[in-house]
Amino acid sequence: MNCIHRRIVPAVLLLGPVLTFAAPVQAQNSVTASARPAISVLDSTKEQDGLVGSVRRVKTETAQIALKDGRPVEGPPKLVEVTTYSLKGNRIENTSYPIGSSLVGKEEYKYDSRGNMTEMTLRDDRGAIVSRESYSYEFDKFGNWTKMVTSLVLFENGQLKREPVEVTYRTVTYYFDDNVAKAVDQPAKPVDQPAPAPPAAEPVREIRVPNVPAPATQIQETSVLTVQLAESSTASVGSVGEPPAAPNLKPLIAGPPITDQKRANDLYLTGRGQFDAGDVRGAVASYLQSIKLEAGSAEVFLNLGHAYLKLEKDGDAIKAFKESVKLNPDMAEAYYGLGFSNFRTHRFRDAADAFKKATMLNPQMAKAHYGLSLAYQELGNEKGLLEEYRILERLDSNLAKKLAATFPEYNFPCRRGGAGCQ
């Protein structure tokens, strides 16, 4: 049931031609930890995302539900998405962490009058039903859902039953407007008024007491530099979309003595804060000091390359990304950054090699396939360009259309046997 990122937004939302460069933020002492790649989608509005009211920000988390001693208990939460909207309702910042789906087949959805999914039926290639899920919601006073429970529809003892398997929470933050003012001014409910009993099918949420939480292991957000490869054969840097920084948590007990690794990590986090505040040069200085103390983190070099790209220091960015992939050869984002910086410096062969490596590590990374297609075009590799177009048709139809519009001379749709072609 790990397809929650697909469910939490309405079907009308489509990923547009906005490419993203994502630099995972991890502590230096957890370099080998796996991180979900982040993506960013900015071409949307709160209305398209199914939200009502003066929504400022939405943070979405999900947790699996398991049965323990016959009772449903939630597992650890995972951050799914953080999105910020302007006063006009346009997305201005967005970072999401898609959770891969293990479902294979055709999915059919039903929706309520608000556009929220109520049921999903999975069918195999022959059209036979494989499984069914249902979704129930809790809403805040403004009409936005804040809790969604995903349940498997089962048949037991001659009756249908619903077994909760996943829960999703949304923290919705609003701009202060007339509706919020009225809600604030409303009198509180009488103290002696009993609270409604929770439905029997709802899961029991465990209280999770963290171990000694230090900043080095708590930062899990992602820095995102939004970039778009240009309409022709060049590239330019776009806007920056950042999720809120994770809060600093005080340790419950005394921590270990301060080491060079700890100081290096503190400098790394300082650099992250400087970058978030717009002080990119200060961030570079902090990253370099961190590397001087502890030079073994691929993530620090990845963030350093990200900052150099922002400063348009492509040569330095290339060096940083090369060091990042040297320390962690399995980091697709670092190869994407290497490809992007090489493309901007017209090193198209090196760009193609880096983009190709990113697609090998993450075949679903549409932005890397798009970059590879542009590099192939510069190299005159028409066969490779057509192949990447075919891949983009499967992964991201909007990017495929953008590629076709950028290079109309190749007539991609007709070469794929499109309608109206001779």
Please write the tens of the pLDDT for every residue from 265-274: 889 999 988 9
In a domain, 56, yes or no: yes
Is pLDDT of 330 > 80? Answer: yes
Is pLDDT of 10 > 50? Answer: no
Question: How high is the pLDDT of residue 7?
Answer: 40
Question: How high is the pLDDT of residue 54?
Answer: 92
Question: How high is the pLDDT of residue 376?
Answer: 92
**Residue 31 structural domain:** 4-177
Q: What is the pLDDT of residues 19-76, one digit of tens each?
A: 344 444 443 433 333 345 565 656 678 887 888 899 999 999 999 998 888 788 888 9
In a domain, 123, yes or no: yes
More confident site: 201 or 181? 181
More confident site: 90 or 94? 90
Least confident range from 111-115, 123-127, 281-285: namely: 111-115
Question: How high is the pLDDT of residue 37?
Answer: 54
In a domain, 206, yes or no: no
The total number of structural domains that make up the chain: 1
In a domain, 103, yes or no: yes
In a domain, 79, yes or no: yes
Question: How high is the pLDDT of residue 4?
Answer: 38
Is pLDDT of 8 > 80? Answer: no
Question: How high is the pLDDT of residue 187?
Answer: 56
What share of the chain in percent tops pLDDT 90? 33
In a domain, 10, yes or no: yes
Q: Would you say the pTM of this structure is higher than 0.85? A: no
Is pLDDT of 275 > 80? Answer: yes
Question: How high is the pLDDT of residue 150?
Answer: 93
Is pLDDT of 414 > 50? Answer: yes
Question: How high is the pLDDT of residue 260?
Answer: 81
Mean pLDDT of the chain: 74
Tell me the average pLDDT across 181-198. 58
Q: What is the pLDDT of residues 375-395, one digit of tens each?
A: 998 999 989 988 998 999 898
Q: What is the pLDDT of residues 289-321, one digit of tens each?
A: 999 998 888 999 999 998 999 999 999 999 999
Band of the pLDDT at 16, cuts 50, 70, 90? very low
By the 8 A CB rule, do 419 and 36 touch? no
Question: How high is the pLDDT of residue 104?
Answer: 62
Q: What is the pLDDT of residues 203-237, one digit of tens each?
A: 333 323 233 333 332 223 333 333 344 333 333 33
What share of the chain in percent tops pLDDT 70? 68
Band of the pLDDT at 109, cuts 50, 70, 90? confident
The number of angstroms, rounded, from the C-alpha of 269 to the middle of its chain's C-alpha atoms is: 21
In a domain, 212, yes or no: no
In a domain, 66, yes or no: yes
